[in-house]
Amino acid sequence: MNKVTTEEDIRNILNQMGEKALTAALALALLSPEAKNKCLLRMADALENAAQEIKTANQQDLAAGRKKGLSPALLDRLELTDSRIKAMADGLRAVAELDDPVGRKLSSTVRPNGLRIDKVSVPLGVIGIIFESRPNVTADAAGLCLKAGNAVILRGGSEAINSNLALAHCLNRAGVIAGLPDGAVQLVPVTDRRAVNLLVKMDQYIDLIIPRGGEGLIRAVVEQATIPVIKHYKGVCHLYVDADADLEMALRVTENGKCQRPGVCNALETLLINEKIADKFIPPFVECMRRNQVELRGDEAFCQRVPDAKFATEEDFYTEYIDLIFSVKIVPDAAAAVKHINHYGSHHSDAIITENPETAAFFLRGVDSATVYHNASTRFTDGYEFGMGAEIGISTDKLHARGPMGLAELTSYKYLIYGNGQIRT
Amino acid sequence: MNKVTTEEDIRNILNQMGEKALTAALALALLSPEAKNKCLLRMADALENAAQEIKTANQQDLAAGRKKGLSPALLDRLELTDSRIKAMADGLRAVAELDDPVGRKLSSTVRPNGLRIDKVSVPLGVIGIIFESRPNVTADAAGLCLKAGNAVILRGGSEAINSNLALAHCLNRAGVIAGLPDGAVQLVPVTDRRAVNLLVKMDQYIDLIIPRGGEGLIRAVVEQATIPVIKHYKGVCHLYVDADADLEMALRVTENGKCQRPGVCNALETLLINEKIADKFIPPFVECMRRNQVELRGDEAFCQRVPDAKFATEEDFYTEYIDLIFSVKIVPDAAAAVKHINHYGSHHSDAIITENPETAAFFLRGVDSATVYHNASTRFTDGYEFGMGAEIGISTDKLHARGPMGLAELTSYKYLIYGNGQIRT
């Protein structure tokens, strides 16, 4: 399959996949919750039963990766062990346990002419997932898409092609045995980059593209796509320590937001300190950051108080470090904090620490972000922490889904209208 | 302004508009319902007070249109009379009367760790509307966007540029007087086609593009856009007359769907007749269509029964005639009808006429369309008929909004999270 060279060849392969996915999606939309859950459990078992087969395919990817000189960290992300395969299987079992997101009555109204209009959740149809390296995405994303009644076309990174093909094949086969139509789970077998550019224009088959990866990948998909894309750009998250903050709480939440897991999108990148409490808050804050080996980059007012801090450039305040680096700015009030966040932030997750309810309300209303916190860590922006039971990503878009995306965000709706012969006059 | 020639010039104009819109949107999001309504009423008065000014600008467009040889129908659509200006003003007053779509609590949950997570509706931000000919869209779209707290950038057709500029200028000025930030309503002053291509890539400023016009316009926008687009493609709407139909009702609903207003997207294009009642239903149906001067194009089985009907090609079944032409097919059962609709239809509005509740349930579940009717005319697919009070369009997308789009569909949401110092462990 990797020998494919002409664009026409790739297009033909993708069209065949699209047709199969569309047929599968129409059938999936009609399945009962029980039938979908049976499929998910069957798939979980199939992954464990095929562990040897999957690991053999994975060994090919690992060998190619070593030859290509992939870093140990990347090789580790690529590797599939028995425990990781079990984790994927358990993930599918957990998804089976969740409430079914399809068929919920979202609203029901009766019009003066007697028509009853029910708005009911339905699957989106066919979802395309474009992702990098980690092969576990194949099972995780397929499980969530299926639970919401969608067919899925996956496109993983070339480093993991054999692992991904083995996983997708195993899942699709188990689905067919459990009664799903062939094509509910498919993986693009072509590693050629042109496949992505063609895939994201196949709006006759695919209803939604979700790219999972770095900003470069997402941007490239958006540039090419004619299919709607839900984007998960960077998380430049802020904490604002207000004049009326409980400073012990502020320090605890700051440390959690910056240091507990700095490499994730809901970690803090910028701290905004109200100037009225700056002199009191900064010494313990600096001490805490030193203890955590965090590099501080401050504005002028901060650097005056902390001479060994680096000077933050304008660019710093736009930057998602996803590292132990922290930009810091001293602001006169909550309004200045809100203005900074709306300008430099990425509309992801931002927090205020204050005991003043009016200031909190002003901040929560003014900050234009998917999640805005009062007296809590931005690290909670996560589908599981939000009680969604699962997460396919965190949207930085405002359309369709904003913030953590769970199963409900993988559905659309339709209107069912019941009459007794009404006509329009 | 129409002398602009370089792409750089156009880009600069659009960037300035984008900056203004973004600033306006942040301020608009904080306005109370009362403040927004006051602005809408002020705008309505301003339109009526500026009627002379608006008609003068409109005369320029009409003169240019006549010179260009526009058809009488197009010239009529372009013309602004006192009564049409009053209708626009009354439209704004009606929007002011509607419930405010912003600030609704969509859900509220308390997590085991004590965090309270409220999901609250908020404005989308900046909306771009790209439309053709009819200048009343300027006022109608601006009113709906503002009511939902959004700034709007409008891009109308070149035939109406002077009328649209006069309207947008009048609305924006009235808004400023009433306390809105400058830039809440803006119209792109450049008629050059490149302006559209640049506008739809300005994702740093604009959150959503809504093209209003023919399929060609929409397709061109989708090809270029990096901003999310909500599409309103064609309406290839079906009525299926089941074996268990009340045939008098079927005839009445068929006539209404096809003949009452054939030029709109929710009018019928294809009739599917169950073969068991075909011989009984066809004679009165044909008689009714003849009376309405509807051209019939049937499949083989239909043409055998109605020898003077034209033969429908495969292409006919994909076609939105928006005219007094009707394609007709005889099908063995509801399953065949569903299959035909999902394959040839446009996922807009489709109906079944049957007295059998099981067949109805099967059809409503199986048809993958925005609105599916049991015993009622597809002509009801409309924001007003759905009780939304207003309509910005009918989405044939499945993301964010499907079917009629009212004010609620012009909002997004954010999560407000209330804690007492929670950190993630």
Q: Express each pLDDT in B91-133 by its tens digit.
A: 999 999 999 999 999 999 999 999 999 999 999 999 999 998 7
DSSP, residue by residue, A159-219: GGHHHHHHHHHHHHHHHHHTTPPTTSEEE----STHHHHHHTT-TTT-SEEEEES-HHHHH
- Residue A329's beta-bridge partner residues? A272
Distance from the Cα of residue B289 to its chain's centroid: 29
Q: What is the DSSP string of B399-412?
A: SS--EEE-SGGGEE
| A124 in contact with chain B, both atoms CB, cutoff 8 A | yes
Cβ-based neighbour number of residue A263 at 10 Å: 9
Q: What domains are there in chain A, each with its CATH number?
A: 7-231+406-416 (3.40.605.10), 237-380 (3.40.309.10)
pLDDT higher than threshold 80 for residue B62: yes
Question: Hunting for tokens 């005369």 — which residue is that?
Answer: B59
- CB-nearest to A398 from B124, B369, B423 is B124
The percent of residues in chain B predicted with pLDDT above 90, rounded, is 93
Q: Are strands B208-212 and B116-123 parallel, antiparallel or unpaired?
A: unpaired
| pLDDT level of residue B215 (50, 70, 90 thresholds) | confident
Edge-first strand order for the sheet with A411-422 is A105-110, A116-123, A411-422, B371-376, B349-353, B237-241, B268-274, B325-331, B295-298, B310-311
* Cα Rg, chain A, nearest whole Å: 24
Q: Do A30 and B117 touch (CB under 8 A)?
A: no
The two structure tokens encoding residue B255: 């006539």
In chain A, which residues have their Cβ closer than 8 Å to the Cβ of B387? 109, 111, 117
User: Concatenated DSSP letters for A277-309?
Assistant: HHHHHHHHHHHHHHHTT-EEEE-HHHHHHSTTS
Q: Which two tokens stand for residue A7?
A: 């664009």
CA distance A252 to A268: 13
**How far is the CA of B162 from the CAs of B44, B55, B167, B189, B196, in angstroms?**
19, 10, 9, 9, 18
The shortest CB-CB distance from B374 to any of A26, A229, A417 is to: A417
Looking at the predicted complex, does its ipTM rise above 0.85?
Answer: yes
Sheet with A126-131: list strands edge to edge: A185-187, A151-155, A126-131, A208-212
Nearest residue in chain B measured CA to CA from A219:
B226
For residues B91 and B390, what is the distance between their CA atoms, to the nearest angstrom?
A: 9
Q: Coil, strand, or helix at residue B295? A: strand
- The per-residue pLDDT for range A365-387, each reduced to its tens digit, is 999 999 999 999 999 999 999 99
**Intervals of chain A under pLDDT 70:** 1-4
Return d(Cα A376, Cα A254) in angstroms, integer: 9
By Cβ distance, the residue of A228, A249, A423 closest to B421 is A249
CB B328 within 8 A of CB B317: no
The torsion angle over the Cα atoms of residues B322, B328, B333 and B339, rounded to 10 degrees, is -50
Q: Which of A403, A414, A419 sits opposite B369 (nearest CB)?
A: A414
Chain B contact for A105 (CB, 8 A cutoff): no
B226 interface with A at CB cutoff 8 Å = yes
Q: How far is B255 from chain A (nearest CA, A)?
A: 9
CA distances to A90, A186, A392 from A173, in Å: 18, 10, 23
CB contact under 8 A, A228 and B226: no
Residues of chain B with C-beta less than 8 angstroms from the C-beta of A111: 385-387
- Interatomic CA distance for residues B44 and B42, integer angstroms: 5
CB contact under 8 A, A377 and B415: no
The answer to whether A422 contacts B386, with C-beta atoms less than 8 Å apart, is no
Please give the residue of chain A at the shortest CA–CA distance from B418. Answer: A374
Site of tokens 């199963």? A407
CA distance A74 to chain B (A): 26
| Minimal C-alpha gap between A47 and chain B (Å) | 31
Q: Is the pLDDT of residue B162 over 90?
A: yes
State the Cα–Cα distance between residues A284 and A329, nearest whole angstrom: 16
CA angle A32, A411, A264 (to 5 degrees): 120
Please tell me if residue B399 touches chain A, with a CB cutoff of 8 Å: yes
Q: Does B268 lie at the interface with A, CB-CB under 8 angstroms?
A: no
pLDDT above 60: residue B1:
no
Angle CA A57–A14–A47, to nearest 5: 30
At CA A74, angle to CA A68 and CA A75, rounded to 5? 70
Mean pLDDT calculated for residue range B34-50: 97
pLDDT at B265 over 80: yes
**Nearest-neighbour CA in chain A from B48: distance (Å):** 30
B384 touching chain A per CB within 8 A: no
Q: Cβ B416–A372 below 8 Å, yes or no?
A: yes
∠ CA A267-A271-A276, nearest 5°, is 150
Q: State the distance between the two ends of chain B, measured CA to CA, in whole angstroms.
A: 58
Best A122, A318, A399, A411 residue to mutate vs chain B (most B CBs within 10 Å): A399
Backbone angles phi, psi at A188, to 5 degrees: -65, 120
How many residues are listed for chain A in this entry? 425
A256–B contact, CB cutoff 8 A: yes
C-beta pairs of B257-262 under 8 Å, 24+ apart in sequence: B257/B351, B257/B377, B257/B378, B257/B379, B258/B289, B258/B292, B258/B294, B258/B324, B258/B326, B259/B292, B259/B294, B259/B324, B260/A423, B260/A424, B260/A425, B260/B377, B260/B379, B261/B379, B262/B321, B262/B322, B262/B323, B262/B324
In sequence order, what DSSP letters do the residues of A378-398 get, joined into one string?
GGG-STTTTT-S--SEEE--S
Establish, for the pair of chains A and B, how many residue pairs have beta carbons separated by less than 8 Å: 193
- B330 SS3 class: strand
Contact A374 B124 (CB under 8 A): no
- Chain A neighbors of B242, CB-CB under 8 A: none
Distances (CA, A) of A146 to A187, B128, B376: 14, 34, 33
Q: Which residue of A367, A423, A425 to mutate against B (max B Cβ within 10 Å)?
A: A423
* Residue A400, min C-alpha distance to chain B (Å): 4
Amino acid, res. B106: L
Q: CB under 8 Å to B134, separation ≥6 — which residues?
A: B77, B78, B160
Q: Report the pLDDT value the prediction gives residue B69, as an integer from 0 to 100.
A: 95
Predicted pLDDT at A233: 87
Q: What type of residue sits at position A171? A: L
Is the confidence at residue B82, as pLDDT, over 80?
A: yes
Residue type, A263: G
Question: Which residue on chain A is closest to B344 by alpha carbon?
Answer: A204
Strand residue runs (E) in B197-291: 208-212, 237-241, 268-274
Mean residue pLDDT of chain B comes to 95
Nearest CA in chain B to A247: B421
Interface of B with A in 300-359 (CB under 8 A): 342
Spatial separation of the C-alpha atoms in residues B48 and B420, rounded to whole Å:
53
- Residue B46 predicted with pLDDT over 80: yes
CA–CA dist B4, B18 (Å, integer): 18
Residue in chain A closest to B369 (alpha carbons) equals: A414
Whether the CB of A386 is below 8 Å from some CB of chain B: the reply is yes
Backbone angles phi, psi at A422, to 5 degrees: -60, 140
Q: Which residues contact A425 (CB under 8 A, 6 or more apart)?
A: B260
Question: What does the pLDDT read at residue A5?
Answer: 78
> What is this structure's pTM?
0.94
Asked whether the beta carbons of residue A368 and residue B399 sit closer than 8 angstroms, the reply is no
Q: How far is B27 from chain A (nearest CA, A)?
A: 9
B116 at the A interface (CB within 8 A)?
A: no
Task: Tell whether B111 is within 8 A of chain A (Cβ).
Answer: yes
